[in-house]
Structure 1
Amino acid sequence: MPKKLLDQLLVIDIEATCWQGVPPNGQENEIIEIGLVPLDLVTGQRLEKRSILVRPERSRVSEFCTELTTLTQEQVNAGITFAEACALLREVYRSRERIWASYGDYDRSIFERQCRERKVAYPFGTRHLNIKTLFALSYTLPSEIGLEAALHTMRLPLEGTHHRGDDDAWNSAAILAELLRRSREGRVEPLD
Structure 2
Amino acid sequence: MSTLDLARQLNAVETICVKRELQTRCASQPFDYIFVLDFEATCWDRLDKDRGYSEIIEFPCVLYYVKKENIVAEFQEYVMPIEKPRLTAFCTELTGISQKQVDNGCPLGTCLMLFRQWLNKQMIKFGITMETPYSKCTFATWSDWDLGVCLRNECR
- Verify same fold: TM over 0.5: yes
How many residues are matched? 110
Calculate the TM-score normalised by the size of structure 1. 0.51
CA distance in 1, matches of 2:95, 2:75: 15
Report if the CA contact (8 A) 2:75-2:118 is conserved. Answer: no
In structure 2, relative to structure 1, the CA distance for the partners of 1:23 and 1:73 (3 Å cut) is farther
SS at match of 1:35: strand
Partner residue in 2 for 1:53: 78
Unaligned ranges ≥5, structure 2: 1-30, 124-128, 131-136
SS at match of 1:47: strand
Partner residue in 1 for 2:109: 83
Query: What is the aligned counterpart of 1:36 among 30, 42, 61?
Result: 61
What's the C-alpha RMSD, in Å, of the aligned pairs? 2.2
Q: Report % sequence identity.
A: 29
Partner residue in 2 for 1:103: 142
Unaligned ranges ≥5, structure 1: 1-5, 118-192
Partner residue in 2 for 1:13: 38
Partner residue in 1 for 2:18: none
Partner residue in 1 for 2:88: 62
Please state how far the C-alpha of 1:7 moved relative to its aligned partner: 4.8
Calculate the TM-score normalised by the size of structure 2. 0.62
Matched, 1:113 2:153: yes
SS at match of 1:75: helix
Please state how far the C-alpha of 1:99 moved relative to its aligned partner: 2.2
Of 89-98 and 30-39, more deviation after overlay is shown by 89-98
